[in-house]
Structure 1
Amino acid sequence: NQLGDYDQCVGAGGRYCLATVDLHLPLSLTSLDTQLHAHYAMTSTVQDPGHRLPKFSLVHWGVCVPAVCSPGDVQQALTHVLGLRSEVTTTVGVDPDLCHHTADPLT
């Protein structure tokens, strides 16, 4: 997990989003995939709400973006960047509840 620096981000006027990334490794990296996911004893996906199963198999990545960016913009940008020149494919999720800017109303 790479959670970034929330205070620095919102203090500079940015929007902090905590993205969830599910890694899909090719067959050539099967042994690494098995180790990465702890032999699949506990797995989850970006679409899983996580109520019954902790998200141990996912990467959580904190990013700081301009305040005008929406969670959808962040998801699209991360999906694009993570898809460049890599054997690993990803599924990226950005929950709007996990994006914050100081001008956002508290809910």
Structure 2
Amino acid sequence: MAIQASIETRDMDKIAEKTGNVYESIVVISKRARQIAVNVKEELNSKLAEFASTVDNLEEIFENREQIEISKFYERLPKSTNVAIEEFVEDKVSYRHREAEENKLEL
């Protein structure tokens, strides 16, 4: 997946055509971006937890290059919003309307 990490101009008509409404598309994208961000944060925290120390040793903090490399790797990852937009435009995100499902249950 070749996702650009920098700012990119997006065609709002292309984003809006998936749902018929640009605002609805933005809501879907933002919810997916939140999911991605939470997953990445949990993954990073679990990897950094391996380095957790009960004793704060100043030498240990400065010498832990592996922990620094892991942090730098996650900093270089594309932003969750960029990933979510690409997934949405490429039809890799599924979504549903909760109100429509609730109305079906009431009938």
The bucket for the TM-score relative to the shorter chain is under 0.3
Q: TM-score, normalised by structure 1?
A: 0.23
> Larger strand proportion, structure 1 or 2?
1
Q: TM-score, normalised by structure 2?
A: 0.23
